[in-house]
């Protein structure tokens, strides 16, 4: 036995960001401070099995690797045994989107009574839903793009006025974004520029979720900032996404080699705009009760230089070239130290929660 902290690094999952998660997991594994931590890779397969230690390393060498006889997760308490793991001191889930970023795996760690990196159940669940996050941002006084939310039951009612392009365009204008409320990586999102785009865009978004947002399009550039901490927080500088004219930050632009998008870190923007982006991010982080980390994305509107909040990512991409670690690198926190700090924050939160009473003494 060593006296190093044992870290269960969980990656994979079943979302559109599966591949990103595999890369994020591998990068964290390579960069984590091996003097302090014994790290155990745990691959969460697409069909929701926790793979054994041996299988988990194989997927990094061959992303197409699949398990023929997966260890089935019988019950929560058998988890470490099934994955051939020693008892862990802390978990680092880097599973984006569905299950990993929405409070589900966070609830699992709460049941295991183990510390875990990143946001707790409530913040993860709330910030996975773009509408709830926008409502909280508004409540904190941060501007958001105006929107109409359409629930499945409304979509199924063909007489519902929200399905009428005239109704939404009178309210929001004719330049619109249609998106699933709970998704990531720009999946299911359409930039709607005319009436004929509208119903197909709704059909596309409803493939992924039971709630779809129709938003006014904000014309401008995208700015992102990173937050780290529990009660005491550090807000990084601001990075900017430079999309080719007329295109948005689509799945292809995020991950494809032929992407025409570039990241500019730090953003070349006036100090007062940078401060606005950062102070808005702090307000949103507090309003959504985040802890550990989050990346907060906004649009800088060209017409009036207003900073309009777009969405919060509770488990941002963590590859070496991802915005979140890059922003902290620019702030003087190296990738390896960022990982250590996130683990410390997980343990601090867990230790604090232990001091709370569940009933009167
Ligand atoms: N209201 C909007 N106005 C302008 N562009 C938008 C708007 N909503 C989304 N986009 C574009 O679509 C991209 C993906 O949308 P986003 O809401 O961030 O979802 P995801 O969780 O998939 O990243 C954004 O990065 C931006 O380029
Ligand atoms: Mg986004």
**pLDDT tens for each residue of 293-310:** 999 999 999 999 999 999
Q: Residue 174: is its pLDDT beyond 90?
A: yes
Q: What is the mean pLDDT of residues 102-116?
A: 93
| Domain match, 94 and 50 both | yes
Domain limit, last residue, from 159, 184, 216: 216
Does 250 participate in catalysis according to the annotation? no
CATH number, domain of 260, equals 3.30.470.20
Q: Are 306 and 329 in contact (CB under 8 A)?
A: no
| Domain match, 275 and 323 both | yes
| Domain match, 191 and 294 both | no
Residue 121 lies in a domain: no
CB atoms within 10 A of CB 45: 20
Does residue 320 have a cis bond before it (omega within 30 degrees)?
A: no
The token pair that represents 265 in the structure block: 């870190």
| Domain match, 198 and 224 both | no
Residue 273 lies in a domain: yes
Mean pLDDT, the chain, rounded, equals 91
H or E segment to which residue 238 belongs: strand 233-242
Q: Give residue 318 CA to ligand 2 midpoint distance, Å.
A: 14
Q: Looking at the DSSP assignment, which residues form a beta bridge with residue 191?
A: 177
Among 92-96, 142-146, 348-352, the minimum mean pLDDT is found in 92-96
| Domain match, 138 and 77 both | no
Instruction: Using most ligand atoms within 8 A of CB, pick from 102, 146, 177 the residue to mutate for ligand 1.
Output: 177
- What is the pLDDT at residue 44? 87
Residue 360 lies in a domain: no
d(CA 37, CA 18): 25
Domain limit, last residue, from 181, 216, 251: 216
With H, G, I as helix, E, B as strand and everything else as coil, classify residue 154: helix
Q: 18-31 and 53-61 helices cross at what angle (nearest 10)? A: 100
Q: What is the mean pLDDT of residues 34-48?
A: 91
| Domain match, 231 and 186 both | no
Binding residues for ATP: 130, 177-179, 185-186, 215-222, 310-311
Query: Helices (DSSP H) in the chain: which residue ranges?
Result: 18-31, 53-61, 79-82, 104-112, 121-128, 130-139, 152-155, 165-172, 195-205, 251-255, 271-287, 323-330, 335-354
d(CA 125, CA 288): 10
- What is the pLDDT at residue 262? 85
Residue 122 lies in a domain: no
Atom of ligand 1 at shortest range from CA of 147: 1
| Domain match, 289 and 168 both | no
Overall number of domains in the chain = 3
Using pLDDT thresholds of 50, 70 and 90, give the confidence band for residue 53: confident
> With a 6 A CB cut-off, is 251 part of the ligand 1 pocket?
no
Instruction: Using most ligand atoms within 8 A of CB, pick from 168, 182, 189, 192 the residue to mutate for ligand 1.
Output: 189
The token pair that represents 179 in the structure block: 């998106």
Residue 21 lies in a domain: yes
| Domain match, 97 and 135 both | no
| Domain match, 159 and 248 both | no
CATH number, domain of 104, equals 3.40.50.20
Q: Residue 147: is its pLDDT beyond 90?
A: yes
* Tens of pLDDT, residues 68-104: 655 555 556 677 777 777 889 999 999 988 888 899 9
Report DSSP state, residue 68. Answer: S
Report DSSP state, residue 231. Answer: S
What angle (nearest 5°) sits at the alpha carbon of residue 5, between those of residues 86 and 331? 135
Using pLDDT thresholds of 50, 70 and 90, give the confidence band for residue 31: very high
Q: Residue 33 belongs to what domain range?
A: 5-116
Residue 76 lies in a domain: yes
| Domain match, 329 and 225 both | yes
CATH number, domain of 190, equals 3.30.1490.20
Among all bound ligands, the one having the nearest atom to the CA of 147 is 1
| Domain match, 69 and 13 both | yes
Residue 355 lies in a domain: no
Classify the C-alpha dihedral 326-328-334-339 as positive or negative: negative
Q: Supply φ then ψ for residue 24, to 5 degrees.
A: -60, -45
Q: Residue 107: is its pLDDT beyond 70?
A: yes
Residue 138 lies in a domain: yes
| Domain match, 268 and 325 both | yes
Q: Residue 7: is its pLDDT beyond 70?
A: yes
Q: Are 284 and 338 in contact (CB under 8 A)?
A: no
Burial of 77 (0-12, 13-18, 19+ CB in 10 A): exposed
């Amino acid at each position: 036995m060593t006296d190093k902290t044992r870290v269960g690094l969980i990656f994979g999952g079943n979302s559109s960001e599966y591949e990103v998660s595999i890369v994020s997991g591998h990068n964290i594994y390579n960069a984590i401070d091996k003097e302090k931590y014994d790290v155990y890779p745990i691959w969460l397969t697409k069909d929701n099995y926790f793979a054994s230690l041996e299988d988990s390393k194989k997927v990094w060498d061959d992303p197409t690797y699949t398990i023929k006889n997966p260890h089935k997760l019988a019950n929560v308490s058998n988890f470490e045994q099934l994955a051939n793991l020693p008892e862990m001191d802390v978990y680092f889930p880097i599973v984006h989107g569905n299950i990993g970023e929405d409070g589900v795996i966070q609830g699992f760690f709460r049941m295991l009574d183990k510390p875990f990196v990143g946001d707790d159940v409530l913040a993860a669940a709330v910030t996975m839903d773009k509408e709830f996050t926008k409502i909280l941002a508004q409540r904190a006084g941060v501007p958001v793009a105006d929107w109409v939310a359409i629930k499945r039951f409304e979509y199924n009612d063909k007489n519902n006025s929200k399905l009428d392009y005239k109704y939404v365009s009178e309210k929001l204008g004719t330049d619109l974004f249609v998106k699933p409320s709970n998704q990531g990586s720009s999946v299911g999102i359409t930039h709607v520029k005319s009436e004929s785009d509208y119903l197909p865009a709704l059909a596309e978004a409803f493939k992924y979720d039971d709630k779809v947002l129709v938003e006014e399009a904000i014309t401008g550039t995208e700015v992102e900032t990173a937050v780290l901490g529990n009660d005491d927080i550090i807000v990084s500088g601001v990075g900017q996404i430079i999309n080719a004219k007329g295109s948005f930050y689509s799945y292809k632009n995020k991950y494809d080699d032929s992407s025409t998008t570039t990241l500019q870190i730090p953003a070349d923007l006036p100090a007062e705009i940078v401060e606005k982006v950062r102070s808005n991010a702090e307000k949103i982080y507090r309003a959504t009760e985040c802890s550990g980390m989050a990346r907060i994305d906004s649009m800088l509107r060209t017409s009036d230089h207003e900073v309009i909040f777009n969405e919060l990512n509770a488990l941002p991409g963590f590859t070496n070239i991802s915005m979140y670690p890059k922003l902290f690198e620019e702030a003087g926190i190296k990738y390896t130290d960022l990982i250590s700090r996130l683990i410390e924050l997980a343990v601090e939160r867990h230790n604090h929660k232990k001091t709370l009473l569940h009933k009167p003494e």
